[in-house]
Homo-oligomer: A and B are copies of this chain.
Amino acid sequence: MRQYETFELTYRGPAPTGSHVTVDLAAVFEREGARVEAKGFYAGNGTYKVRFLPDAPGAWVYRVRGIVEDAGALQCEPAAPGRHGLVKAEGMHFVRQDGARYQPFGTTIYALVHQEKALVDRTMRTLAAAPFNKVRMCVFPKDYDYNKNEPQCFAFAKTDGGWDVDRPDPAYWEMLEGRLRELDALGIEADLILFHPYDRWGFAKLTKEQGLRYLDYAVRRLAAFPNVWWSLANEYELVRAFTPDFWTDFATFLGTASPHPHLLSNHQIITAWDFSHPYCTHCCLQSRKIDEATAYAKRYGKPVIYDEMCYEGELVHDWGNLSGAEMTDRFWKVCLQGAFATHGETFLNPEEVVFWSKGGDLVGESPARIGFLRTLLASLPGPLDPQLSQLEEHGDPYAFVQSMKDKVVPGFTDGPFFQMLITFTPKELEGLLGLMKRYAARIGDAAFLQYFGRTTPYVAVFELPEGATYTIEVVDAWNMTRTVVRTDAAGKVEVPLPRREMMAALAVRNA
Contacts and interface: CB of A to CB of B under 8 A. Distances in A.
B270 A432 contact: yes
A499 B271 contact: no
Contact of A428 (B270, B432, B499): B270
Contact of A420 (B240, B428, B431, B436): B240
A479 interface: no
A314 interface: yes
A314 B457 contact: yes
Interface in A300-344: 313-316, 318-319, 321-323, 325-326, 329
Contacts of A329: 454
A501 interface: yes
A126 interface: no
A423 B240 contact: yes
Nearest to A291: B288
Interface string A420-440: 100100011001100110100
Nearest to A461: B316
* Copies of this chain in its oligomeric complex: 2
B428 A322 contact: no
A462 to B, nearest CB: 11
A129 to B, nearest CB: 22
Interface string A40-54: 000000000000000
A427 B237 CA distance: 13
A458 interface: yes
Nearest to A288: B435
A68 interface: no
Contacts of A318: 436, 438, 455, 457
A458 B323 contact: no
12 contacts: A238-B420, A270-B431, A271-B427, A316-B457, A316-B458, A318-B436, A318-B438, A321-B456, A323-B499, A325-B501, A326-B501, A348-B458
A14 to B, nearest CB: 43
Nearest to A200: B416
Interface in A72-116: none
Given A237-B428, A238-B420, A420-B238, A322 B271 contact: no
Given A270-B435, A435-B270, A323 B456 contact: yes
A378 interface: no
Contact of A314 (B427, B456, B501): B456
B501 A323 contact: yes
A153 interface: no
Contacts of A420: 238, 240
Nearest to A310: B455
A61 interface: no
A326 B237 CA distance: 34
Contacts of A270: 428, 431-432, 435
A459 interface: yes
A493 interface: no
A286 B60 CA distance: 66
Interface string A493-511: 0000001110000000000
Nearest to A287: B435
A468 interface: no
Contacts of A457: 314-316, 318, 321
B314 A271 contact: no
Contacts of A59: none
A404 interface: no
A326 B428 CA distance: 27
A269 interface: yes
Interface in A451-467: 452, 454-459, 461
